[in-house]
Structure 1
Amino acid sequence: MTEPTVSTSAWIEFLKQQGAQFAAADPLELQDFGALAPKAEEQESFFAPLTDLGLIGAAGDDAASFLHSQLTNDVTHLNTEEARLAGYCSPKGRLLATFLMWRDAQQVFLQLPRALQPAIQKRLQMFVMRAKAKLSDQSDNYAVIGLAGPAALNALAEWFPVLPASPYSRIENTNGTLIRVADAQNGARFQWIATPETLIGAWPKLAQHLAAVSPQAWRLSEIRAGVPQITTATQEQFVPQMINYELIGGVNFKKGCYPGQEIVARSQYLGKLKRRTMLASLDNSEVDVRAGGEIFSSADPDQPCGMVVNAGASGGGRALALVEIKVAAPESGSIHFGSAGGPQLQFHDLPYVLADPQ
């Protein structure tokens, strides 16, 4: 990807000039574009600066083979025209992080929440040993915009005349990298990763086609697509299959060893999976529905039957969430957030089938 000439700090300042408001406790947590801006949860077509995402770069002759030995997906056969999901597990097979992964001619990139990036990068670096691989923080070198909805296709045409044709395909040109990620609500979604300078220059024309909204709109689209993301609240809580990660292409069972691989493989092939992640909505007018929150069944109210993986306000006093849960729990009783007397969850179909291993 093209090297930056404008820093992320200039990108953040530019966003503030467009009306972006950031959290007091986290200067990179974009909350909204002001009270009069379009509501994130109400937009069918939008573009959102994803300022909460970080980026690790891995360069060197052994970069791909090193990451291949650490992650749940195949890295050595990753080509420059695709992106993949991948997980990083503890020795116990529990996910420490989930990534969107791609490569260019120089390095492999791992995208993850900024809040997790320093510790994950440090942990990976510990295992480089004698491999010819160097990890670097690329978060300040590139900016990211998420785009979704029918209008996004025309909005991108000036910079990418040919768009990625299918989910997890990638196109790179002088304007940066465009990755089509998992579709949501039968519509294409894209991430545009480029230098801050490029995206600052593109902003006015994008705004002619699309509403600029907070990353909340993008997170909701991820939830609707059934694509989970590990956060600080859920590290080491889930084996990949608990969050459907093998169903969405995040696990390769033929690639060989990585930390936790035996446990992940055992979960896949020995017996029926008893826990999965499902899509649910619930009332959040009086509770704070967020990742890490526990859920309970009326049939067994004294102990939790699952956990919220990701959640976001979806308007009208409701929240949308991906919840990891015992598969049998919804069949034996009503499911509630926080306690057996908390808001009840209503379950919805995911855009893929919760299949058992063959």
Structure 2
Amino acid sequence: MTNWYQSHAFNRLPLSSDSALPALSVIALDNLSLITAIGQDTVPYLQGQLTCDLVSLEKTRSTLAAHCDAKGKVWSAIRLFHHNEGVAYVQPASVAEKQLAEIKKYAVFSKVEFALSEQILVGIAGEKADSAVESRFTGEGDVRTTQTGSAVRIDKNRWLLAMNADEADTLLTELGERATLSDSSLWTLLELRSAMPAIEEANISEFIPQSINLQALDAISFKKGCYTGQETVARAKYRGINKRAAYLLQGEAAEAPKAGDTFDRSVGENWRTGGTVLSGYRFEDGQALALVVLPNNLDDDSQFRLADTEALWQKVDLPYSLEDDA
């Protein structure tokens, strides 16, 4: 395990719910793990394991994807991209070892090697992030080659970098005092505001991909060939069996909601348990955000509360549509 993150002053930023974010931040992504896959069978092997269409993935693009079990339940939601001599993907560190063991289970029959990478993962975010990254790593598109790794655009003015420690040190030196260093909590906040789902250890094999909105994020190909869990995923689309979705909620909390926590929802004058937290963040003023899997037939005036608490939470508009265009 690298101690690179501990050798730099990555601290939690004291943000309130109305705080302006720094114009340029370098974020320690030690809460994520990088898995690499190399070998001539990498693409066909992963094509049969993941929900995305890796065959058509351009080298200048990244994609979200789900790795499912045979029943179509999600082991992990990943961000995948071409990287060095093969491909790589990032996911929460809490699921990395279990997910890696599962995805390489049948790789003995293919020419592909998986590894848990020791490269450094950092985020670059803020209104000056695009210019800071694009001035250092030339090329076109959302995935660019660095000296030792890759720079991957996640959103406008938000990048994920995977590189060796020496290159990461050089980047910090070049950015100097213009950049604020932050721990991974800032990345969690940015992921929440983008309503990007993550599967932590507490939620492994609990949800099908559509229950965490992956169809709305172009993470599922319904035109590719077979892959593990495809039957369930296709049935959810074409037969309407999925009854859940991930929603962004906001309210007061004594501490940040964490993966696996439960929410109650109002049904008339009563309350029912029925929400599972994917991720959460708490501001210094007590306001909090959470991405929560809930029934997808909620009333517009539904209210919510964390289990065993009284503070009421409300839905926040998602930054994308859950309507099925097909």
Two-structure CA RMSD over aligned residues (Å):
2.2
Q: CA deviation at 1:112?
A: 1.2
Alignment of 1:1-358 (within 5 A): 8-9=2-3, 11-15=4-8, 18=9, 20=10, 32=11, 38-39=13-14, 42=19, 43-45=21-23, 46-104=25-83, 106-138=85-117, 140=118, 142-161=119-138, 169-174=142-147, 176-181=149-154, 183=155, 187-271=156-240, 273-285=242-254, 287-299=255-267, 301=270, 303-331=272-300, 333-339=302-308, 342-356=310-324, 358=326
CA distance in 1, matches of 2:256, 2:146: 42
Please list the CA deviations of residues 249-307 of structure 1 after superposition, one character each: whole Å capped at 9, or x if unmatched.
1111111212211011101111375321111111012x552121111123275642221
Q: Please state how far the C-alpha of 1:123 moved relative to its aligned partner.
A: 1.3
Tell me, in whole angstroms, the C-alpha distance in 2 between the residues paired with 1:332 and 1:224.
Answer: 21
The 8 Å contact of residues 308 and 321 in structure 1, kept in 2 or not, is answered as yes
**How far apart are the structure 1 equivalents of 2:37 and 2:195?**
28
Task: Answer with 221-230 or 251-260: which moved more.
Answer: 251-260
Task: State the 1:221 CA deviation.
Answer: 0.4
**1:105 and 1:136 mapped to 2: Cα distance?**
13
Deviations 1:74-114 (A, max 9, x none): 12222321111111111111111011101135211121122
Secondary structure class of the residue paired with 2:196: coil
In 1, the alpha carbon distance for the partners of 2:181 and 2:259 equals 25
Which residue matches 1:25? none
- Contact 1:239 1:264 survives alignment (8 Å): yes
Which whole-Å CA distance do the structure 1 matches of 2:303 and 2:250 have between them?
A: 13
* Residue 151 of structure 1, CA deviation: 2.1
Distance 1:74 1:344, change over 3 A: same
Deviation at 1:157, TM superposition (A): 4.7
Shift of 1:132: 1.0
2-side partners of 1:72 and 1:291: how far apart? 23
Residue 8 of structure 1 aligns to a residue whose secondary structure is coil
**2: distance between equivalents of 1:188 and 1:330?**
35
Letter matched to residue 122 of structure 2: I
Distance 1:325 1:154, change over 3 A: same
Question: Matched residues in 1 for 2:134 and 2:36: separation?
Answer: 28
1:27 aligns to what?
A: none
Q: Secondary structure at the match of 1:153?
A: helix
| TM-score, normalised via structure 2 length | 0.91
**SS of residue in 2 equivalent to 1:51:** coil
Task: Give percent identity, aligned residues only.
Answer: 25
Structure 1's 128 and 352: CA in aligned 2 closer, same or farther, altered over 3 A? same
> 5+ unaligned residues in a row in structure 2: which ranges?
none
Partners of 2:282 and 2:253 in 1: CA distance = 8
Answer yes or no: is the 8 Å Cα contact 2:266–2:272 preserved in 1: no
Whether contact under 8 Å (2:84, 2:149) holds in the other structure is no
Q: For the structure 1 residues 332 and 318, does the alpha-carbon distance in structure 2 shift closer, same or farther, using more than 3 Å as the test?
A: closer
Alignment check: 8 A CA contact 1:228 1:243 kept: yes
Unpaired stretches in structure 1, ≥5 consecutive residues: 1-6, 21-31
Structure 1 residue 226 displacement after superposition: 1.3
The size of the alignment, in residue pairs, is 321
Secondary structure at the counterpart of residue 150 of structure 1 = coil
Taking the aligned partners of 1:330 and 1:311, their CA distance within structure 2 comes to 23
| Residue identity matched to 2:14 | K
Displacement of 1:118 in angstroms is 1.3
Q: Contact 1:74–1:252 (CA<8 Å) still a contact in 2?
A: yes
Answer whether contact 2:50 2:67 (CA < 8 A) is retained: yes
